[in-house]
Amino acid sequence: MPSSFKLVRDKIPDIIREEGRTPRTRVVRAKAYKQALLQKLQEEVDELSAAPSKEEAADVLEVLHALCLAYGIPLSEVEKVRKAKVRKRGGFSRGIVLEQV
């Protein structure tokens, strides 16, 4: 996928127009859309890592929501699986790092 474009939120082109500028856009579908979402997720994770904030965390979560929809994975099921994994294997709140087995 060319680096000359990036996936943006749905209202960004309208916001650009309101600023008096002209966006050039296109809509990607299917495989290209999923790939763009995965790239966007990495971008948002990088931004969260560089500047942790509620806003950056919300951006990561929004892209994850879109990925689940694109892959037909119900968010309610994701949450059930997440909770089951926490019950069975724990979460990540204690900061345990496995150094060797």
12-56 pLDDT per residue, tens: 999 999 999 999 999 999 999 999 999 999 999 999 999 999 999
Domain count, the chain: 1
Residue 88 forms part of a structural domain: no
d(CA 60, CA 46): 10
Residue 39 forms part of a structural domain: yes
d(CA 90, CA 73): 23
- Polymer length in residues for the chain: 101
Residue 11 forms part of a structural domain: no
What digits encode the pLDDT tens for the residues 62-82?
999 999 999 999 999 999 999
Residue 45 forms part of a structural domain: yes
d(CA 52, CA 2): 28
Residue 44 forms part of a structural domain: yes
Residue 19 forms part of a structural domain: no
Residue 12 forms part of a structural domain: no
pTM given for the model: 0.86
